[in-house]
Amino acid sequence: MASIWLRTLKSYGIPELSIANLETNTGQGDIVHKVIIINADQQIGNYWIRANMSSCSIPRGSPDTINYNTRVFDNMNITGILRYEGAPETIPTSEAYPADLSDCTDHDPTTLNPVSLTPSVPTDYAKRLLLEISVRANPVLVALINNSSMVMDFYHPSNEKVIEGAGFVTSDNAYSYDVPNQPVEIILNNTERRTHPFHLASEEGSYSQPLSSLKYDFNNPVFRDTLTLKEQSLTAIRYYADNPGVWLIHCHIEWHVEMGMVAQLIESPSEFKKLTIPKDVLELCNVKDEENS
Ligand SMILES: [Cu+2]
């Protein structure tokens, strides 16, 4: 079994790791964009490269789901051949490295601690938001953040609302904070019995490990752009509000987005209001109006 080295993006300052398997959850670009180096130190020959999908995310036990009786489980062992130079063109016989694929999780986040962070981890916050994640089954299945399912308003985009000073409605799931360049903390309370890979657009977050009692790690916290929220757990995220605008925080499973598991963060609106909407963006609004007329 050749060892695999995971070299992370240098700007994150995370050292190389030696791994045998790499687990990624949906949308975890920070992992899949990393460079994987394979130490070709084995005998010249042919070796399987394997990719498996965890069965945890595919409910098929109920006729109510589109995956009912799916055959996808029958062929989840996706393979390629790593052929050393000089090896014969034969099918490999290498065995799979044991891997536990029973739960929806990702690579142990505690191994992704950066060596150093610039700026350093905020030890306090100027604004804290609490976001409680849940689902409601009746009358239809929807996902909720603080009891509200996000519904996108395509005809009055949030950027426009902020610049015009227009208000938001409950289903916008909009949370505003006006503390430019100061630290913000978000507590994600996943009340669900499922995991959700949560992503914060625009900001490079300093994520602590999910801890039931919210014990903070200020020395060297996990640094991710998409973090798996464990089932029924609390997770604290801290970052500096240095990017005025409207940004989404959401589950990275696309149909959970469709179910409404999204909030909008209105960052530093006092700064953002000073911006002018570019002409080509405004022209898109005219196209919309012509279509409606
Ligand atoms: Cu989700």
CATH of the domain at 132: 2.60.40.420
Q: Assess whether 137 and 106 both reside in one domain.
A: no
Q: Rounded to the nearest whole angstrom, what is the distance from the C-alpha of residue 211 to the centroid of ligand 1? A: 19
Assess contact for 186 and 237: CB atoms under 8 A: yes
Q: Rounded to the nearest whole angstrom, what is the distance from the C-alpha of residue 252 to the centroid of ligand 1? A: 6
User: Is there a domain that residue 187 lies in?
Assistant: yes
Of 67, 88, 112, the residue at which a domain comes to its end is: 112
Tally of structural domains, the chain: 2
Assess contact for 202 and 247: CB atoms under 8 A: yes
User: Is there a domain that residue 156 lies in?
Assistant: yes
pTM of the complete model: 0.78
Nearest to 259 by CA among 194, 208, 185, 186: 194
Q: What is the pLDDT along the chain (293 residues), one digit of tens a residue?
A: 334 444 444 445 556 667 777 777 887 765 545 556 677 788 999 999 888 777 666 655 566 666 666 666 665 678 899 999 999 999 999 888 777 777 777 777 666 666 566 667 788 999 999 999 999 988 888 999 999 999 999 888 899 899 888 999 999 999 999 999 999 999 998 888 888 888 876 544 444 444 456 778 777 777 777 888 888 888 888 889 999 999 999 998 888 999 999 999 999 999 999 988 888 887 877 765 555 55
Q: Assess whether 141 and 178 both reside in one domain.
A: yes
Q: Rounded to the nearest whole angstrom, what is the distance from the C-alpha of residue 194 to the centroid of ligand 1? A: 8
Q: Which domain holds residue 17?
A: 4-112
Q: How far is CA 41 from CA 36, 70, 84, 89, in A?
A: 15, 40, 10, 19
User: Is there a domain that residue 120 lies in?
Assistant: no
Q: Rounded to the nearest whole angstrom, what is the distance from the C-alpha of residue 134 to the centroid of ligand 1? A: 10
Residues facing residue 267 across a β-bridge: 177, 245
Of 56, 81, 112, the residue at which a domain comes to its end is: 112
Q: What is the chain's alpha carbon radius of gyration, rounded to the nearest angstrom?
A: 22
Q: Assess whether 84 and 154 both reside in one domain.
A: no
User: Is there a domain that residue 121 lies in?
Assistant: no
Of 112, 139, 170, the residue at which a domain comes to its end is: 112
Q: Rounded to the nearest whole angstrom, what is the distance from the C-alpha of residue 119 to the centroid of ligand 1? A: 30
Q: Assess whether 86 and 150 both reside in one domain.
A: no
User: Is there a domain that residue 118 lies in?
Assistant: no
Q: Give the torsion sign (CA, 150, 154, 160, 166).
A: negative
Q: Assess whether 132 and 103 both reside in one domain.
A: no
